[in-house]
Structure 1
Amino acid sequence: MEYLPDDNSRYKDVDYWDERYKTEQSYDWLGRFSKFQHLLEKHVQKEDSILILGCGNSSMSGDMYSAGYHSITNIDYSSVCISAMSARYSDCPRMTWHEMDVRQLSFPNASFDVILEKATLDAIMVEEKTPWEVSPHTACFIHQALTEISRCLKPGGRFVSVTFAQPFFRKRLYARTEYNWSIRKYSYGEGFQYFVYVMTKGEELSPEDAALEKKLLEDTKSPPTRVATTQDDDDEEDFLSNIDLI
């Protein structure tokens, strides 16, 4: 593919994205909005205030706006992206665009009904070789982002995470009492499955997820076990099959 980097580590490099967004018009990781719209409609109301993290040049924000979700705030750490997308959707009142780091959200506490990310956290983890022992640097990055997400959610608000990572691995990151949310899991896709996690602010972890958190705290050195998977979506970029998180 034209925009594939020489090394997966570049997916974390803002300079890479700035250059890519100068010429690439649109790319949708994990499929377009229509692929999981039926799931989102169960948890997101048309009048909800929505924050989209790492919006990139995806069509998702525009598709959601067309579907009736009009209160949408988009952030990305690429200034090139934000400039281009702001101009592209200048005719969409109440949809705004901001250059921002997911670890330092410049919004007051309890600002949003819904915070949504699609493959943004996946891209952060591009250099991880095993889901069992996430590097301290990446673990810190993810924790900072999730802490900010929880802070910016209203009571009863939902954090929606769309990812290729199976529950066995992704719940290890989300199941923490300090985030003050419950976790529900859904999936979509034919052949290769993608996952939608819905975290509801103010609800307790299920007994199963609370037990997972307790186990992880007690035993953080479980021996790694590789889980064999297949990747048959030719439209996805390499990093989705190279990150050992599925």
Structure 2
Amino acid sequence: MDYMPDDNSRYKDVDYWDERYKTEQCYDWLGSFSKFQHLLEEHVKKEDGILILGCGNSSMSSDMYSAGYRSITNIDYSSVCISTMAARYNDCPGMTWHQMDVRQLCFPAASFDVILEKATLDAIMVEEKSPWQVSPQTACFVHQALTEISRCLKPGGRFISVTFAQPFFRKRLYARAEYNWSIKQYSYGEGFEYFVYVMTKGEQLSPEDAAMEKKLLEDTKSAPTTITSTQNEDKEDFLSNIDL
């Protein structure tokens, strides 16, 4: 079955995902857990309380569970996804599933040691065509999500973002002193490089990241650029249309 939407904006539509999850068994954006497991093991302990944002029908949660991570809370805004995944993994004590919006996390402050997202923020920004200037609506959405993520992290907790977005563009969104975290970056993949950003709650931004935030605040009107992209018609891949 072809799950590619007619328009990339559908990736932001919960009705699209509800319909897709009725028949699709599993899909892993940006590769399976094994591709970046070596990076996560440096920052996530087996006993950590973990929240996975926009879990979808990815195998990542079950792969992490099999690897020894046994306290995993999963959220997605698709009720179809959550009911399906909860039934599929009802024999995994410590793994829970909840329908929830990343902008309104229904957890007390300082609830998790680790909050993890893989391509969830990428999907939110799917309609953005220029990496230099994110629309006010998308910027507000991302800011609300990051504010909630920071609130729900314990002191010393880590927010881990797995994405195709290059540091020059994505760190513009993550490097804010108000989120009260530092940023480290890693990468994985052959041919197409993916990135892993690790934000640690309670640590200051590096001088370089703090300077970037200051510059962005002083110059909010970044110069637009022309992005040349290609569409891969043979494989579902909204990543080729944006470079954030």
Provide the TM-score with structure 2 as the length reference: 0.97
- Superposition pairs of residues 86-125 of structure 1, within 5 angstroms: 86-125=86-125
User: Which residue of the partner structure matches residue 200 of structure 1?
Assistant: 200
Once the 2 structures are TM-superposed, how far is the Cα of residue 41 of structure 1 from its aligned partner? 0.2
Unaligned runs of 5+ in 2: none
User: Which residue of the partner structure matches residue 64 of structure 2?
Assistant: 64
Once the 2 structures are TM-superposed, how far is the Cα of residue 225 of structure 1 from its aligned partner? 3.0
CA contact (8 A) 1:161 1:196 kept: yes
CA contact (8 A) 2:116 2:161 kept: yes
Once the 2 structures are TM-superposed, how far is the Cα of residue 230 of structure 1 from its aligned partner? 7.9
Structure 2 distance, partners of 1:168, 1:244, is 11
Give % identity.
86
SS of the residue 1:141 aligns to: helix
Unaligned runs of 5+ in 1: none
Once the 2 structures are TM-superposed, how far is the Cα of residue 244 of structure 1 from its aligned partner? 3.3
Structure 2 distance, partners of 1:212, 1:228, is 26
- Taking only aligned residues, the RMSD between alpha carbons, in angstroms, comes to 1.6
CA contact (8 A) 1:14 1:77 kept: yes
Structure 2 distance, partners of 1:193, 1:228, is 18
CA contact (8 A) 2:130 2:227 kept: no
User: Which residue of the partner structure matches residue 162 of structure 2?
Assistant: 162
Q: How many residues align?
A: 244
User: Which residue of the partner structure matches residue 133 of structure 1?
Assistant: 133
User: Which residue of the partner structure matches residue 237 of structure 2?
Assistant: 238
Quick one: which amino acid aligns to residue 17 of structure 2? W
Structure 2 distance, partners of 1:216, 1:113, is 30
CA contact (8 A) 1:33 1:63 kept: yes
Provide the TM-score with structure 1 as the length reference: 0.96
Quick one: which amino acid aligns to residue 213 of structure 2? E
User: Which residue of the partner structure matches residue 181 of structure 2?
Assistant: 181
